[in-house]
Amino acid sequence: MPTLLVLGATSDMARATALEFSSKGWDLFLAARDVEAATAVARDLALRSGRSQDAFAAFAFDALATERHAAFWNGLPVCPDAVLCAIGGGGDPSMAEHDAALADQIMRVNFTGLVPVLLLAADAFEARGSGAIIGIGSVAGDRGRAANYLYGSAKAGFATFLGGLQNRLTAKGISVIIVKPGPAYTKMSEGLALNPMLTARPEEIGRAIYAAYAKKRGSIYVKPIWRLIMLIIMHIPGFVFNKLNLAVKKEP
């Protein structure tokens, strides 16, 4: 059976995607900072998929502990066939504007802390001649907005990194996929007033990611309308864009 390594396995998007791959016969390596939580996810996925618990394994992984990434990768029972990086978040962007340590954490959680382990995956897949790297990015990285420019800049950097891996690895038989979910109904979005026409559910994201993998897509917006929305936003002249307030409001 092929094996998917899920980094950040306890998030809603990661769990939904893991279930989708599992339903297609994949085994799962589930990695998270809290290995007990990852173990609980493994048990839940086994029940939901109706597969043996042996098809799921949990591992401790901390994106910020980059000095331990090589030991983590080398300690996996086998080299996975694909890696899903579903790590993100990291703090309140408005607070981070005035807190250098928090700003640095957002950068590391969403970009720089993810690079070492994905480079290890890239090297292993390149040597083998097969594999896939799937990274969950964000529409926030398409253009900087006052509401979340620190988070958005980290996601922009992550997307550029994945784009570079695409350019390096595609001709060598390795897929690299950039996923932009847009707003999603997850724990992170609780309390936000979201438009249901523009907001994805975790299971929708999981299906879209598997379809992108199967079709060897290079990048996807989970809801296609976001490609048009972001194309428009990216072409708004700066003197107009700087007068706009595009923040998502909290529910009253």
Q: Does a structural domain hold residue 55?
A: yes
DSSP state of 66: G
DSSP string, 97-140: TT-HHHHHHHHIIIIITTHHHHHHHHHHHHHHT-EEEEEE--GG
Residue 101: phi and psi, rounded to 5, are -65, -40
Q: Does a structural domain hold residue 250?
A: no
- Note the pLDDT of residue 232: 94
Q: Does a structural domain hold residue 210?
A: yes
Q: Which two tokens stand for residue 66?
A: 């980059």
Q: How many domains does the chain contain in total?
A: 1
- Note the pLDDT of residue 91: 78
Q: Does a structural domain hold residue 246?
A: no
Q: Does a structural domain hold residue 181?
A: yes
- Note the pLDDT of residue 94: 82
- Note the pLDDT of residue 247: 63
Q: Does a structural domain hold residue 225?
A: yes
- Note the pLDDT of residue 251: 33
**Mean per-residue pLDDT pooled into runs of 10, the chain (252 residues):** 97 97 97 97 93 95 97 98 93 87 95 98 98 96 91 97 98 97 82 85 97 96 95 93 70 32
State which residues form the domain around 115: 3-241
- Note the pLDDT of residue 252: 30
CA distance 55 to 24: 12
Residue 31: phi and psi, rounded to 5, are -115, 135
CATH number at residue 233: 3.40.50.720
